[in-house]
Structure 1
Amino acid sequence: MAGGGAEMFARYAYAPNRLGYCGPPDAAALRDGSDDQVRAVARRFTGAWPYLRVMATMTGIADPLDRRLVESYWLGGGIGADLDPAEFTAELLALLGPAAGGYWTHLGPELADEAAANHCFHVFGVYPWSRLVRQANGHPVQVLDNCRITWGTVLGRTDTEIALRCRVLGWDGQRLVLSAETVRSVPVGMDGYPTVPVSVGEQVAVHWGRLCGRLDDAQVRALAASTERQLEVTNQRLATRR
């Protein structure tokens, strides 16, 4: 995937921001803004920005929006995968300080065994939704599935939609699990955001129903591994804390 860290941050952050789930009400800046404007918006993300700051500190990389950090945060693997989970959790808590309540209510030292320096941990560990999956209506699982980064293979496309072969998240009554591969449709574009040029057979990432960009084989492996690892440790928590 081409582009710098700020561009990649904007592509993955745009859909939840537009929906009002994450970050300040500046979706247009993520879509149309300059590098400097995207950076200004990124600093106001309550979720992603603290991760990137801690990752920058622990790796010695000066710019939290360095492409290596942004990719590692959204997809797992990469430079953030080598960070010690307990140390990362402690650094994150120290950075947040009093703000560790509220939005970060579920982040505490007890999550250190589950922690990872990536978005998947934030979705399944810090967000409240994994604690609500036993609700019969299935809504928490749908939120988790939309919020995680999904990988898939393009099967076909029209002017407006892409047919994608991917796996979806489910709850089998005991565990969060990924389904066998199925086919879903995602829109080619959203609100005038520049579309990602993709062809049949290419692998892509999707976040909150939006196509974020192409993935190479190494990125797919990293995303799949970080997702499967997070589901395993989150399921261990769910089995012991009802």
Structure 2
Amino acid sequence: MTTARDVRGPEMFARYAGAPNQLGYCGPADPAALDSADRIRAAAPYFSGAWPYLRVLSRLTGIADPLDHRLVESYWLGGGVGEELDPEAFTAELLAAIGSGTQWSHLTGDLAAEAAANHCFHVFGVYPWTRLLGTGSDDHPLHVLDSCRITWATVTNCDSAGFEVRCRRLTRTGAALALSDPVVTRVTADDRIPPGVSPGDPVALHWGRVCDTLTPDQQQALERSTARQLELTNRRLTGR
């Protein structure tokens, strides 16, 4: 029997995974793969970025279900049950879980100093895009990094076409990454977001879409995990 508690984790997973899946970046090609809790559970192992993290989080925390809401929340936003895991132990478990593969070629034991059990580490540490900065135009690597990270924002206007939000964008000065002062930008809405989003509400963005609303604690966790990852990534980029 499926309970309300069982559904929270899969629903949250689908909200954040939906945009890159629809863009064809990860997960199964079936557009209906994230339409129900049962289908989400069947599709989740095909998300080659998120799923290994959830498996390792499950193993290291003793929470049996990789799609438990506590694990899903901690992966996408940082904080929570994954925040206190030892980076070296987590890296070792993640390496054991993934084996070898080109998507993960930058994940080695040397990256343990940057490691965290969340999506922000995967974007800035494991994916290749920070290593492509400064090799030509930074526009595309910056766009991918900024789009793929989970961004907190505040809704300023809503209409039938989507939302205007105020958020901080990723910038690069010299070799270092930073977040801009808040700017207003237009985004679309994922069809899985909770109803009734209105101006003033805090929301999460992923690949140019509003994918969820945020509680104050969730936004604080996301801000904290992002700041940590930028600091550690900049140490690598600047050689400090």
Aligned to 1:16: 20
Whole-angstrom CA distance in 2 between matches of 1:218 and 1:137: 33
Question: Which structure 1 segments of 5+ residues have no match?
Answer: none
Q: How far apart in 1 are the matches of 2:205 and 2:89?
A: 30
Please list the CA deviations of residues 133-172 of structure 1 after superposition, one character each: whole Å capped at 9, or x if unmatched: 1132411000000000010111111111211010000111
Structure 2 CA distance, aligned partners of 1:137 and 1:218?
Answer: 33
> Which AA in structure 2 matches 1:227?
T
Query: Contact 1:159 / 1:188 at 8 angstroms: preserved in 2?
Result: no
Q: Deviations over 1:168-195 (max 9, x none)?
A: 0011122011000110111134xxx345
1:145 alignment partner AA: D
- Superposed CA deviations along residues 218-237 of structure 1, whole A, max 9, x for unmatched, are 11100000001000000101
TM-score by length of 2: 0.93
Q: Structure 1 residues 195, 83: CA separation in 2 closer, same or farther (over 3 Å shift)? A: closer
Task: Call closer, same or farther: CA 1:121–1:27 in 2, change over 3 Å.
Answer: farther
Aligned partners of 1:4 and 1:194: how far apart in 2? 12
- How far apart, CA to CA, are the structure 2 residues paired with 1:205 and 1:65? 19
Give 1:123's aligned amino acid.
Answer: V
What is the correspondence of 1:141-156 to structure 2 with a 5 Å cutoff? 141-156=142-157
Output the amino acid matched with 1:232. E
Structure 2 CA distance for aligned equivalents of residues 22 and 171 of structure 1 = 26
Mapping of residues 114-129 of structure 1, within 5 Å: 114-129=114-129
Which of 76, 79, 82 pairs up with 1:77?
79
Q: Per the alignment, do residues 110 and 185 of structure 1 end up closer, same or farther by CA in structure 2, a change over 3 Å counting?
A: same
Question: Residues 193 and 213 of structure 2 are in contact (CA less than 8 Å); yes or no, is this contact kept in structure 1?
Answer: no
Letter of the 1:120 partner, please give it: C
Rounded to whole Å, the distance in 2 between the matches of 1:132 and 1:144 is: 11
Percent of residue pairs identical: 60
TM superposition shift of 1:43? 1.1
| Partners of 1:239 and 1:101 in 2: CA distance | 27
> Deviation of residue 24 (structure 1)?
2.1
- Equivalent residues in 2 for 1:133-148, closer than 5 Å: 133-134=133-134, 135-148=136-149
* One-letter identity of the residue aligned with 1:51: Y
Conserved 8 A contact 2:11-2:37: yes
Are residue 177 (structure 1) and residue 175 (structure 2) matched? no
In 2, distance between residues paired with 1:169 and 1:91?
A: 30
Which residue in 1 is equivalent to 2:130?
130
Per the alignment, residue 240 of structure 1 pairs with: 239
Q: Look up the match of 2:224.
A: 225
> Mind listing any 5+ residue stretches in structure 2 that lack a counterpart?
none
- Is 2:26 the partner of 1:28? no
Matched, 1:101 2:80: no
Deviates more, 1:142-151 or 1:180-189: 180-189
Give CA deviations for 1:114-134 in whole Å, capped at 9, x if unaligned: 000000000000000010111
SS in 1 for 2:83: helix
Q: How does 1:32-43 map to 2 (within 5 A)?
A: 32=35, 34-43=36-45
The answer to whether structure 1 residue 204 and structure 2 residue 206 are counterparts is no
Aligned pairs, number: 233
| CA-CA distance at 1:27 after TM superposition | 3.4
Return the alpha-carbon distance in structure 1 between the equivalents of residues 14 and 117 of structure 2: 19
Q: Secondary structure at the match of 2:163?
A: strand
Provide the C-alpha distance between the structure 2 equivalents of 1:161 and 1:225, rounded to a whole number of angstroms. Answer: 28
